[in-house]
Structure 1
Amino acid sequence: MKNSLRNAASSISSPVERRLFAEYGAVFATTAVPPPVIIFADAARVDAFQASLSTSSAFLGAHEIRLQAKALDALLAAASEMAGQGGIITARAADAGGRSYEDTIRLWTRNVDRGLEHWQQLGRMTGEQAVSIRELVPGDQVAAILGLEETEQLFFGTFFDRSILFSVAAPGASQHLSMLAFDVAEYADREVERMLGRHGWYRTVPNDIPHFTYLGHQEATLPDFGLHRIERTYTERMYDFWTPDLDRL
């Protein structure tokens, strides 16, 4: 087994990091530049990392996205080959590619605020508890929310029946911060999925079907890098995801 994922796994220092590594850690197997940490502590660290990368931008459909240059080159090659077959690969939204730390905070806070309001209305949480959670710094807030979900079954996902991580990445943990993730508009097209895989892009986050990650490896070799394939069924279709094989790391 190659060492990239194992090295990242060996750096895990808390239950929260272990959970986030299980969710998003496949990115450490990339042939591009992986993130230096499992979760960035703040915007300054994200900005410094992104500034150190070789990046480029391009329009895929109506939206311009920025990614690590190696990842974007592979994505454009896939889109070009797809176009030659009469198909398209386009960005799902304006933030389908690289994101800032502030972007991840905004998305996270939206779900946290909705969840706090929901559980207060149901009498499962006091106003004082909600205020104390809102005042936490992001890292501590992530731990608090995941703790409430595990111990109290107070879920912060979109419909309040699943973990918040089914709806949004924790601040500082999103693969989009490493500029190695792309949300595909044509995610249900099997030929798009196959074409992206030919060029090193794979699904790696089981709760996010449109989300693909640039790994840069041939699919047959992914187990050599500490990944294993899992299957999930959504709307009567089976999807494959490559995630860290924690039992081997």
Structure 2
Amino acid sequence: MTMSMGFFLKKTFFYILIAFLSCALVASQGVNRSQLMANVQNTKDCVTTFSSENNRVSTQFCKNISQTSIEPTSSSPFTPDQSLTEKERFLATITQKLSIIPVPNSFEYTLLRAYGSAFVNQIPTIKLPPKVLFTNDQETKQFQLTLTMGKVNNTSNCELQKSAADAFNQARAQVQIPLKSGYGASDCTRSFATNLRFWQKYANNNTLEKVRQGKETKILGTVAPPGASQHLWGLAIDLRVSNEAQIQALNQNGWYRTVEYDVLHWTYVGLPKERLTEFGFQNKIVEGINYWVTPL
């Protein structure tokens, strides 16, 4: 018998002995297989292979599990510290999405207060704008071209970001929910030009200046200033909701009224109702309508 063959047989006998003792341990101590393997691998993860050459047993590598860590990814959901105030929880959450938070009392901060609910969205496939206000049509189009869109079922040209469209279609599968106009694109994702046209229909430059100065904010519940609408982001839809069953179906699929006085407007937040307060949302009833608003 050669030395290499003897070595191989000794190793084989050793592993058979280990297997026998392991079975005996399981039988006598009640330790299941997963527990046993967990104990064996508590410090090192080794890959052992048999080499056909010379009938040798060889260990390729061992990795120390204690040195392995799971790094958070951009798609990992974020939950703010619940010891913080509502405002602090909200700001801590949107900081994950917005690189620059508007300065309090600024025009952009006013817009964030009115329309910033969407920045809490934790759905990995949802894309949020880099800021609360687009300055022109070109900037808006550049952002919209990066979006993955989906169609709202049984409409001709109503599109939303795909995850938002899927969630709305699921709500509609539960109960009939008509769009404001019945089918139109203006109810869903809008262009900068459409946003501007709506503003000019309900307001003017004088009104815009008052909003900039913080002297007029109720208009924001009727129409968004040019470049500020959630409809530009593919995360808002205008609906004719008239009963509790429709509201429940929308809420169950992450859709909420988030803009005070805008009864028709629904925002895709993507959170179950019971978790909204975790992120600082405040429940507010205005003229008998239930809204979930930002705490700013």
TM-score, normalization by structure 1: 0.72
Give the C-alpha shift of residue 58 in structure 1: 3.0
Question: What residue in structure 2 maps to residue 4 of structure 1?
Answer: 93
Partner in structure 2 of residue 158 of structure 1 = none
Question: More deviation in 5-14 or 64-73?
Answer: 5-14
Give the C-alpha shift of residue 192 in structure 1: 0.3
Contact 2:100-2:131 at 8 Å conserved across structures: no
Partner of 1:145: 210
Query: 1:48 aligns to what?
Result: 142
Number of aligned residue pairs: give it: 199
Taking every aligned residue pair, what percent have the same amino acid on both sides? 27
Q: Which structure 2 segments of 5+ residues have no match?
A: 1-79, 81-88
Distance 1:239 1:190 in 2: 11
Select which of 51, 60, 64 maps to 2:157: 64
Distance 1:212 1:112, change over 3 A: closer
Amino acid at match of 2:289: Y
1:186-240 CA-partner distances (Å, limit 9, x unpaired) = x12111011100111111011211111111111111122232211112xxxx222
Is the deviation greater in 18-27 or in 28-37?
28-37
**Which residue pairs with 1:75 in the alignment?**
168
Q: Which residue of 1 aligns with 2:54?
A: none
Counterpart in the other structure of 1:120 = none
Question: Over the residues paired in the alignment, what is the CA RMSD in angstroms?
Answer: 2.4
Does residue 89 of the first structure (1) align with residue 152 of the second (2)?
no
Q: Which has the higher contact order (CA 8 A, sep 6+)?
A: 1
Secondary structure at the residue paired with 1:182?
A: strand
1:81–1:111 Cα change, 3 Å? closer
Deviation string for 1:105-145 (max 9, x for gaps)? 111122335xxxxxxxxxxxxxxxxxxx58xxxxxx83x13
Q: For the residues of structure 2 that align with 1:89 and 1:10, how far apart are their CA atoms?
A: 37
Larger Rg: 2
Structure 1: gaps spanning 5 or more residues: 83-87, 114-132, 135-140, 156-161
Pairwise CA distance, 1:147: 5.2
In the alignment, the residues of structure 1 paired with residue 110 and residue 220 of structure 2 have an alpha-carbon distance, to the nearest angstrom, of 10
